[in-house]
């Protein structure tokens, strides 16, 4: 699969699922942690995944020490899975926050009920280094490296 095909599959699954699982390494024990997120892509910024969060969470503050992450996106039927491997940057930029909020639209219902302070947000920008596409029922697998 070519890069543009892999990015199209990733966007199709993300558009359908609206959520993904983010894996980070954190804490004094450097253990993996998983959390549901609502990520998005932004037109014109291929190779990046974006999300919003609060800078008040300990795991966000820890990202400066452990930037490698992995995202997992899947269809509702679990017949297609995409893994995105890369890094994670925490960005406090009003224009980028507005772009991400606009791209996410109304998909943040749960997010708004759990966020400590709606006015205090940062953008998680994940530069994608590798995309792995997997179809469990047929064992079809494709890997594309972006960097």
Conformational region of residue 130, where left means phi above 0, alpha means psi within -120 to 50, and beta covers everything else: beta
At residue 60, the pLDDT reads 87
- Lowest mean pLDDT: which of 14-28, 63-77, 114-128? 114-128
**Could you tell me the CATH superfamily of domain 3-145?**
Electron Transport, Fmn-binding Protein; Chain A (2.30.110.10)
Asked whether residue 109 carries a pLDDT value surpassing 80, the answer given is: no
Q: What is the pTM of this model?
A: 0.88
- Percent of the chain with pLDDT strictly greater than 90: 63
Q: Bigger pLDDT: 119 or 127?
A: 127
pLDDT(57) > 70: yes
């Amino acid at each position: 699969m070519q890069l543009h095909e892999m990015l199209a599959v990733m966007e199709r699954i993300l558009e359908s699922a609206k959520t993904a699982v983010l894996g980070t390494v954190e804490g004094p024990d450097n253990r993996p942690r998983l959390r549901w997120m609502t990520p998005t892509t932004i037109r014109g910024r291929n190779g990046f995944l974006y999300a919003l969060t609060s800078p008040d969470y300990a795991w966000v503050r820890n990202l400066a020490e452990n930037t490698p992450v992995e995202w997992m996106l899947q269809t509702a039927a679990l017949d297609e899975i995409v893994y995105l491997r890369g890094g994670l940057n925490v960005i406090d930029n009003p224009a980028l926050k507005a772009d991400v909020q606009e791209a996410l639209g109304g998909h943040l219902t749960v997010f708004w009920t759990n966020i400590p302070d709606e006015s205090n947000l940062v953008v998680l920008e994940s530069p994608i280094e590798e995309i792995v596409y997997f179809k469990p029922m047929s064992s079809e697998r494709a890997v594309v490296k972006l960097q």
